[in-house]
A and B are shown apart, each in its own frame.
Chain A
Amino acid sequence: MDRALAADGSVGNARRVVAARPFADQRGVLLGLAVVALLFGVLVGPQFFGPANLELMARQTVIVCVAALGMTMIIVSGGIDLSVGSIVALSTVITALLLRPDGSGWSALVAAGGAVAVGALCGALNGALITQLRVAPFIVTLGTMLLVRGAAKGLSGERRLEAPATWLNDLLRTAQSGTGRLLPWGLWATAALAVLVAFTLQYTRFGRHLFAIGSSERTARLCGVRITRTKIAVYTIAGALAAVAGILMFSKLSVGDPTVANGLELDVIAAVIIGGGSLMGGKGTVVGTIAGAAIMAVIQIGCSQQGLPNWVQQIVTGTIIVGAVWLDRWRSRTQS
């Protein structure tokens, strides 16, 4: 074929390269984060931005962040996962069970690996039910939310499970000065996972397929994307990430607790949505999600350091969720 095909003489009009604008999509949420942080910086004082306080905020939000990485992928693919909180709880229980209260159990590494495997299994169950029964993800994961929570309670005998101290308990402990590590291991691991998920979404075939399925499942199918496989994979990965969040939760609690993280899924979904993810699918980024989680952490810690009661914090967070989505709509309307 040759150039003559372009009958209207428009050849070459696409040559104008638009400069890549990193974080162009996340401008809104990053701006929001800056505004909220500045606000509390002024209210609380400069110590709000001190290293100790920043680390406190990071520790506070890290569990939501890790779970939200998986949720970002699911929401990009047009799905939703309500079972995240339950998987976190199950993961703390599995970890504690494998470590055994009397210390006669497996090594910490095996315990953590086991928890992640069980989380992945829960995710695979979500994916399999959604694709095989053709039931909406909201309904399926509403069911597995109860199912997994029940399993966690059953396995633990409905009580908190004591576990011996291992390095798992130190994952979120402040790094000792002089080691040059700066941050707790758990935060480094989270950062690595975030980079990995961001890369997967933007630069792999699997990631591009997720966007395609979320934007239009029928188009993806027409283009030969294997929908069933891809969906089961994304729920499995999200389950595994929720279990990693559970290990961090275990680290914080140092016990296996089947009732923990009740309602965590809503914080996780809120982080993705504030970060620009769309429940209609096809939109969402890791940077946005982490910024979204950070906004909620800043509000939470800022409010408590200002001595504001919990109800103020909830009202502010709720307003931000609705505001963020409205802002996003308004921006896309004015652009087009």
Chain B
Amino acid sequence: MSAPLFEMVAIEKAFGATVALDGVDFAVGAGEVCALVGQNGAGKSTLMAVLAGALAPDRGEMRLAGRPFAPRDPLAARQAGVAMIYQELSLAAHLSVMENILLGVEPVRRGIVQRDRMRASARAALAELGHSDIAPDALVGDLAPAAQQLVEVARAMAVGCRVLVLDEPTSSLGHDDVRALFDLIARLRARDLAIVYISHFIEEVKAISDRVVVLRDGRNAGGGVTAQMSSQAIVALMVGRGLEELYPRGNRRAGDVVVTVEELTEGSAPLTLHCGEVVGIAGLLGAGRTHLLRTIFGLEAVTRGRIAVRAHSGPADPHDRWRQGVGMLSEDRAGEGLASGLSVADNLTLSNLAPLGPAFTVMPRRQDASARTWIDQLGIRCRHPRQVVRDLSGGNQQKVAVARLLHHDVDVLVLDEPTRGIDVASKAQIYQLVDRLVCAGKAVLLVSSYLPELLGVCDRIAVMERGRLGPARPVEAWTEHSLLMEASGTRAAS
């Protein structure tokens, strides 16, 4: 690699008292795929927002092809040749493929859009990507996620992009689509594009990137040529400490069965959850893990099979489940897990207001006192229990959501991606808490996409693949590799 095509030097960015980026260096060359990895909160998103012109850095400089690069806004960055493909695609679903590809740069003559020329350039852009199969006139809303992503890449190409940033591009893709995407990235690399690939999945990073840059707590934590780094080495750089420290394991003793799940989908193995154990469910995105948890908790209808919580085996809604001592933590913290406009105290006590006042009343003083107990015990950073949840950081919000289960004193905790989007310190606290609860005889059912977390926290793990749940095996029987093989439908050879 000669001089890098795009370079960021000593970038600093702070939001109030929070330092998001503290002197980060980053560079990517033409014809190179550079992976940017790090935990949530490590500063990846902020760095990319700076790159894309959405945020101005406090200090530091950027150079594109040797020239200073300081875009005023995302449009300026795009015009200079830096394009971002976000996790949430930014397409107009009601417009056609060609209208999306040429959005903002439509060919016009005397103010009239020339649809023929539009169709031709859209077709050319798609053909360049090796996907002539997508019709320029199709509505984007009708396309599969993978095809939509292609349209977005084609749009970036149409405005002459030189640096392409892909933010978690595989999160909504199936296995085959991921392979197709990797082929596409390889083709773009061959065309001398500089590609920044952001991902949580170490396996993907190993498969596609030439070089890895690891961020931790807003700083460069290390990196190097991908081929010379092991997965463990990358994870160690991301986490910054030994795994044993992160995942405590007290004296756990599995007791009676509390939850039994039988064949909710065809071909699924039965699942039993005992007191005093953590059972994890691994699987790819879209494998149906969240749906399984929601069905168990009564948020989705049971269409076949049977769910029993202790002696209760009839139909149940969330109200019933709470009464049976089951609590759930939603993966969608902002949309479902918390009512972000309400106070910490309201959110924390919502499922269990009954003990907070005589008859049908709720006494704010008792509510605040209850909330304060958990604020202290979990170290939730907030000014007072009446503070609106929206103002808290992601980690503290998640602790409020977890505290709800503790306030309710549930016996079974159903946790869907409990550490998504929170900082390492909060993660460690949640792992400690889970261990403590399980040692005290509670049962935990855990869905996580982060394999080291599953292996660190769980006693048994089952893998879900395309809606089918496999048998739960002891954690010692699994490795990251075997979990991934099983999750992607490739049965281990042995």
Contact = CB atoms under 8 A, between A and B. Distances in A.
B339 A12 contact: no
Interface of A: 1-3, 5-18, 202-208, 211-212, 215-216, 218-226, 282-283, 336
B329 to A, nearest CB: 9
Given A6-B377, A222-B328, A224-B322, A205 B342 contact: no
Contacts of A207: 362
B341 A215 contact: yes
Nearest to A203: B361
B195 to A, nearest CB: 37
Interface of A is mostly: loop
Given A1-B436, A215-B339, 15 more contacts: A5-B377, A6-B378, A10-B381, A12-B376, A205-B353, A206-B360, A208-B350, A211-B339, A216-B342, A219-B338, A222-B328, A223-B318, A223-B404, A225-B319, A336-B390
Nearest to B391: A336
Interface in B138-166: none
A223 B436 contact: no
Given A205-B362, A224-B351, A219 B336 contact: yes
Contacts of B209: none
Given A12-B376, A221-B299, A224-B318, A211 B364 contact: no
A223 B385 CA distance: 19
B429 interface: yes
B295 interface: no
B166 to A, nearest CB: 30
Contacts of B378: 5-6
Interface string B326-349: 001010100111111110001100
B304 interface: no
B127 to A, nearest CB: 43
Given A1-B377, A5-B378, A203 B357 contact: yes
A11, A216, A225: which has the most chain B beta carbons within 10 Å?
Answer: A216
Interface of B: 299, 317-323, 328, 330, 332, 335-342, 346-347, 350-351, 353-354, 357, 360-364, 372, 375-386, 390-391, 404, 406, 425, 428-429, 432-433, 436
Contact of A3 (B318, B376, B391): B376
A11 B391 contact: no
A205 B433 CA distance: 29
A222 to B, nearest CB: 6
A14 B339 contact: no
A216 B322 contact: no
A8 B379 contact: yes
Contacts of B317: 224, 226
A224 B321 contact: yes
B337, B361, B406: which has the most chain A beta carbons within 10 Å?
Answer: B361
A222 B330 contact: yes
B21 to A, nearest CB: 21
Contacts of A205: 353-354, 360-362
A2, A5, A10, A219: which has the most chain B beta carbons within 10 Å?
Answer: A219
Contacts of B320: 224
B18 to A, nearest CB: 14
A5 B380 CA distance: 11
Contact of A204 (B335, B360, B379): B360
Contacts of B380: 14
Contacts of B386: 18
Contact of B379 (A10, A16, A212): A10
B391 to A, nearest CB: 6
Nearest to A278: B341
B346 A212 contact: yes
B360 A283 contact: no
A216 B336 contact: yes
A212 B350 contact: yes
A91 to B, nearest CB: 28
Given A18-B384, A205-B361, A223 B379 contact: no
Nearest to B433: A5
Given A11-B379, A14-B376, A204-B362, A220 B341 contact: no
A14 B382 contact: yes
A202 B364 CA distance: 8
Contacts of A12: 376
A282 B364 CA distance: 17
A208 B353 contact: yes
Contact of A11 (B376, B406, B432): B376
A5 B432 contact: yes
Nearest to A12: B376
A3 B332 CA distance: 29
A282 B390 CA distance: 13
A130 B88 CA distance: 31
B336 A7 contact: no
Nearest to A211: B342
Contacts of A17: 384
Given A223-B351, A336-B391, A282 B360 contact: no
B340 A222 contact: no
Contacts of B406: 1
22 contacts: A1-B436, A2-B377, A5-B377, A5-B433, A6-B378, A8-B425, A10-B381, A11-B376, A12-B376, A13-B381, A16-B384, A204-B360, A204-B362, A208-B362, A218-B336, A219-B337, A222-B318, A222-B330, A223-B322, A223-B404, A224-B321, A336-B391
